[in-house]
Structure 1
Amino acid sequence: MKLRTTFHTLAALLLAAALTPAAQAQERIKFKAIGQPLATGLIQKNKEQPFFENFGARTGLPIDVDYKPVDTLGIKDTEQLRIMKAGLFDLVSLRIAQNTRDEPTLLGLDLVGASPDYATARKVASAYFDTIDKRLQQQFNVKLMGLWPFGPQVLFCKKPITKLADVKGMKVRVYDQSLAKFIEMVGGTPVPVGFADTHQALSLGVVDCAITGASSANSAGWPEVSTHQMPIGFQMALNGYAMTMKSWNALKPDQQAKLKAAFDKQTEEVWKYSEELFQDALNCNTNKDPCTTGKKFKLVNVPVSPADLELVRGAVTKVSFPAWAEVCDKSNPGCSQQWKTTVGPAIGMK
């Protein structure tokens, strides 16, 4: 009898041991993620949200993500790094410009005039990626997983303009210090306004002009409260994906490799989609075809002159880099020199 009992006990232990790996395999990891604002439009809706909501399938890992756009959480998009450092979320779709006050080094990704087109922006993102990743890990315990663009940030006005100099004396919505300095240089008055509040600001006359991506403006209805569109790219509105080092380090090396590969694929898709959206949105905003991704409006399209293009490109050396370098070097000694040796060669700046 005792032998039989021992046998059954042993069999039960063996069965439990055999089942344990299977049980462990079924255990799923839960991540919480902050997304881009709903108001930013199609990249958030068609690329980002599906990626996070199908995270397990996209990564090949047993991970489920609770994804919430930042404007549904009751927190400010300027607080993302602080919230990540506190460990309240695992993943974030990082609003680069909005978090530059907490980490000025970030702004080196998107200085006014440095990325006038997609090809140049890719070079900048690639050249500066490791610098940003290292800084975020040191200061916020956050790892950079990828960089992607909303697209060229262009000018919308509710007053007639024919050239950049026409914004002299006008109030212009801006979203970071680099852009603010440039608007001051051309005689305008920069007014920091959150993206979600800009439609109302234009409508009420709080600002005369505003800067954002063509597709985001279309999605948010800015052409309802403006009359002119000038498709000159001040910046590329680079954004990123990041995760806490705690969550990253909890994964095995092979899981980390799969995760990074998934983010690489995701960001590549967004780069391509952003470029498609940009041209289509310019058409939609000015009532032209093809217009397949947005709503048609009747803005006046203001041609970009060679002089204005040169004015923006020259802003890097004249305004945006010097102003940023002073601020960045105070919080991160050697910041500007690091930028010169990484990004400088990528954009032909000596």
Structure 2
Amino acid sequence: MPMRPLAKPFSKPFAAAFVLALATVLALPAAQAQDRIKLKAIGQPLATGLIQKNKEQPFFENFAARTGLPIDVDYKPIDTLGIKDTEQLRVMKAGLFDIVSLRVSQNSRDEPTILGLDLVGAAPDYATGRKVAKAYFDTVDARLQQQFNVKLLGVWPFGPQILFCKKPIASLADIKGMKVRVYDQNLAKFIEMVGGTPVPVSFADTHQSLSLGVVDCAITGPSSANSAGWPEVTTHQLAIGFQMALNGYGMTMKSWNALKPDQQAKLKAAFDGLTEEVWKYSEELFRDALNCNAGKDPCTTGKKFKLVDVPVTPADLELVRGAVGKVSLPVWAEVCDKSNPGCSKGWQATVAPVLGLK
């Protein structure tokens, strides 16, 4: 039987090309994995409740699907990180995180300009809150970029911040002489004007402070209060909105600039979608939680309690609305203009016309 001739060996150039092609194919999964962007995000505290749980966290956990970008986010609520919610901007400036769910009031000591989003009396309802957020967005974005290298991607509300008390009240005037939990200087000055004693207490510590009598009353949104069990240690709720508790999403300019223009557009569109969802959801929660706290129906999002619903009087409404000109704007302007000359003029030019203020 004749022997078959041996196959010719590959030429050296062909062999080299084959090995290179094979290596390329084998490396594809690794290369694709390396192409994915990994970002670290600070979220709202777990204790704040349903917006964090049902809107924010799912968005970040499904970030690639929601944005259409090869980005994976390591999302951590701030109360699991050992970082204070007053330190968010400092942490972002240091480059320790890429994205932040920014607590506006809590970080206003580091950057007073941002509190212009949420002056006491300026946004007592959702419709006004939207107008204020839109009017002041570019001002806040520019300031955060300048001072902290953080780009503002969206603004959204927890909703009207109302009063909870463990002593009987019939109107705002009844908090005279009472200790009231507050979360920023603007609100503190208003409580002083009404005759109360403002006491700064973190959200996480408020339930215990009410229970122990450290404070007699406390201010937050009705849904957050329900989630944190405040109605267990209070008896009355007065549903008048002092502030809208506007918050924002920010991203370090380093991470933002690392994206291509089309990726930036997709990312911004995704955050626009998220913030619009939260605006609508927040309003649903607000109305439902008021019912839950007072033991009324419908109550679908929280636990039923038995708080007394204190009627909001025209005099109380006028007191809160008048706070902008009398207290919150002058107090804030003095502080803000010191660190950011022209700060209050910027607000007067953008937000004041929306509110019908001269």
**TM class, shorter-length:** over 0.9
Q: Structure 1: how far apart are the matches of 2:27 and 2:268?
A: 28
1:323 counterpart (303, 323, 331)? 331
Aligned to 2:12: 5
Aligned to 2:5: none
**Corresponding residue SS for 1:172:** strand
Task: Give distance in 1, aligned partners of 2:119 and 2:73.
Answer: 33
- 1:5 maps to amino acid: K
Return the alpha-carbon distance in structure 2 between the equivalents of residues 268 and 183 of structure 1.
31
Deviation at 1:28, TM superposition (A): 1.2
User: How far apart are the structure 2 equivalents of 1:261 and 1:12?
Assistant: 44
Q: Which amino acid aligns with 1:253?
A: P
Deviation at residue 17 of structure 1 after TM alignment: 6.5
1:226 aligns with 2:219: no
- Structure 1 match to 2:109: 101
* From 125, 142, 149, the counterpart of 2:157: 149
Asked which structure has the greater CA Rg, the reply is 2
Structure 1 portions without partners, runs of 5+: none
- 1:76 and 2:53 equivalent? no
Query: Secondary structure, in 3 states, of the residue corresponding to 1:77?
Result: coil
Q: How many residues of Structure 1 are paired with residues of Structure 2 in the alignment?
A: 350
Q: Deviations over 1:240-284 (max 9, x none)?
A: 111111111111111111100000000000000000000000000
The code of the aligned residue for 1:339 comes to W
Moved more, 5-14 or 291-300: 5-14
Q: How does 1:1-350 map to 2 (within 5 A)?
A: 4-13=11-20, 24-26=31-33, 27-350=35-358
Question: What's the CA shift string for 1:82-108, capped at 9, x where partnerless?
Answer: 000000001110010000000000110
Partner Cα separation in structure 2 for residue 254 and residue 21 of structure 1? 24
- Superposition deviation, residue 21 in structure 1: 7.8
Per-residue Cα deviation, 1:322-343 (whole angstroms, up to 9, x for no partner)? 0000000000000000000011
RMSD, aligned CA: 1.5
Distance 2:328 2:269 in 1: 34
SS at match of 1:241: strand
CA separation in 2, counterparts of 1:255 and 1:333?
Answer: 35
Q: Distance in 2 between matches of 1:122 and 1:264?
A: 13
Cα displacement (A) at 1:13 = 4.0
Cα displacement string for residues 127-169 of structure 1 (whole angstroms, at most 9, x for unaligned residues): 0000000000000011111000000000000000001000000
Cα separation, 1, equivalents of 2:15 and 2:255: 41
In structure 2, relative to structure 1, the CA distance for the partners of 1:22 and 1:345 (3 Å cut) is farther
Give the alignment's TM-score, normalised by structure 2.
0.95
Query: SS at the partner of 2:13?
Result: helix
Q: Distance in 1 between matches of 2:31 and 2:307?
A: 58
The SS at the match of 2:276 is: helix
Q: 1 CA distance for matches of 2:128 and 2:26? A: 54
In structure 1, how many angstroms separate the alpha carbons of the residues matched to 2:282 and 2:209?
26
1:219 and 1:14 map into 2 onto residues whose CA distance is 58
Offset at residue 10 of structure 1 (A): 2.9
Return the offset for 1:8: 2.3
Distance 1:321 1:261 in 2: 33
